[in-house]
Amino acid sequence: MQWLRDMWTKEGPGIAKDAPAKTGLALFTEILVREWWEMVKLNILFILASLFVVTLPAALVAMARVSVELVEDRNTYLLRDFTEGFLRYFWRATAWGLALAGALAICIQAILTYAAGARDNLMFAAPLTIALVATAFVAVLACHLVVLMMMRDLPALRLLRLAALASLARPLPALAALAFNAGLWLAHILFYPVSAFMPATFNFSLGMFAVAFGVHRAAVMVLDLPPHRKPHARSAS
C-alpha cells in the first residue's frame, strides 16, 4: 500500500531551484493554468458587484486588486480581498472612472468627427491621427492608473503623473493587453452562441488579469519597488 500513501503524501516534483525563472507568455500561461478557478470565481464576483452600473468602476478596481495579487503570487482570499478593495476604493474608483470615461468619450467623438471630415478633405488626416494616438494613450493610461492605485495609496496628482510616466515608458505591454481583451470579445462575437458563456465565466477576470500582468512591470519601475514585488513563477520549497 506504499504507492497509495505516496500518491497523497509524497511531495511533487516542484520547480528546480536552479531552473530559469519564467517570464512573458510562459509565466502568463503558468499563472493562468494555476489560478483559472479563482479567475472564474472572480468573474462572477465582478458581475454581481457591477449589476447596478454605478458600481462598475469600483468593481473593476476590486478585480484589479485581486489580479495584482495573482500576478505577484501572493496569498489571495478572494471574497475578502475583493470586498475590501470594492469598499475602500469606491469613491476614488468612481471619480477616476468618470474622468477617464469622459476623456475617452471626447477622444472617440474627435475620431468620428475628423474621420467624417477626412473623407472629403485630406487636411483632416493629421488631426485624425492625433485623435487616434490620444485615444490609445488614454486607454493605456487607464490601465496603468488602475494597477498603480492597487499597488500603493497615492495622492491623485502623483498617481496620474506616475501613470503617465509608466504609459510613456512601456506602452506596448498595455496595448498588447488591450488587444488581448479585444480578441476575447471578438471570439465571443464570432463563435456565438457556442461562446455564450464566455463573459459569465472568464472574459472580465481574464481580461483584467492580462492588463495587470502587462502593466505590472512598468508599475514596479515607476514606484521603485523591491524585486520581490516583480511577477515570478512558484519555486520548489
| Residue 209 contacts residue 67 (beta carbons within 8 Å) | yes
Domain that holds residue 65: 23-99+141-229
Cell (9 digits) for 136: 490609445
pLDDT at site 234: 44
Residues in CB range of 20: below 8 A, 6 or more apart: none
In a domain, 18, yes or no: no
Q: Which residue numbers in the chain have pLDDT < 70?
A: 1-21, 226-237
The pLDDT assigned to 18 comes to: 55
57 within some domain: yes
- Residue 86 inside a domain? The answer is yes
Question: What length does the chain have?
Answer: 237
Number of domains in the chain: 1
17 assigned to some structural domain: no
For residue 14, the model assigns a pLDDT of 43
How many angstroms separate the CA atoms of 44 and 42, rounded?
Answer: 5
Please give the pLDDT value at position 8.
Answer: 39
Q: What pTM value is reported for the model?
A: 0.85
pLDDT at 9: 47
Q: Is residue 175 part of a domain?
A: yes
Q: How far is CA 84 from CA 56, 57, 75, 146, 210, in A?
A: 15, 14, 15, 16, 22
Asked if residue 58 belongs to a domain, the reply is yes
